Amino acid sequence: MNINFPYQLTPQGVTATASADDHIAQMLEQLLFTRPGERVNRPTFGCGLLDLVFSPTSPEVQAALSVTVSAAIQQQLSDVLKLESLGVTWAASTLQVDLTYLILATGASATQTISVPTG
């Protein structure tokens, strides 16, 4: 059973659950939006995506963010997915991370876009 993120109750008053594919997408979102050291007893969890939101938009920052995100996914979620492609772009005051990955349990390919407003 995969608990939905963010935590919710169903109209019946029980904990809402997520499908396996949705749960993996939610785990990715949690990983990207968590700063390393933010979680108690898991100091290496996270990638610091939000720390770079106010950084200048340069090829060097894009490359650093790509490496950071890729490494975090490999370290934390390599048992459930295999990252196939990763793109980082800034457009219209938005940082956008485009992910394509393979779900190891099913062999299905999935894509996810995570957007963060920038300052």
pLDDT digits (tens, 9 = 90+) for 57-102: 778 888 888 999 999 999 999 999 999 999 998 877 888 999 999 9
Mean pLDDT along residues 100-113: 96
The pLDDT assigned to 105 comes to 94
Which CATH number do you get for residue 108? Answer: 3.10.450.40
Q: Whole domain around residue 10: which residue ranges?
A: 2-117
Alpha helices in 46-113 (DSSP H): 59-77
What torsion do the CA atoms of 43, 49, 51, 53 make, to the nearest 10 degrees?
-170
One-letter amino acid for residue 85 of the chain: S
- As for how many domains the chain has, the answer is 1
User: Side chain identity at 101, as an amino acid letter?
Assistant: Y
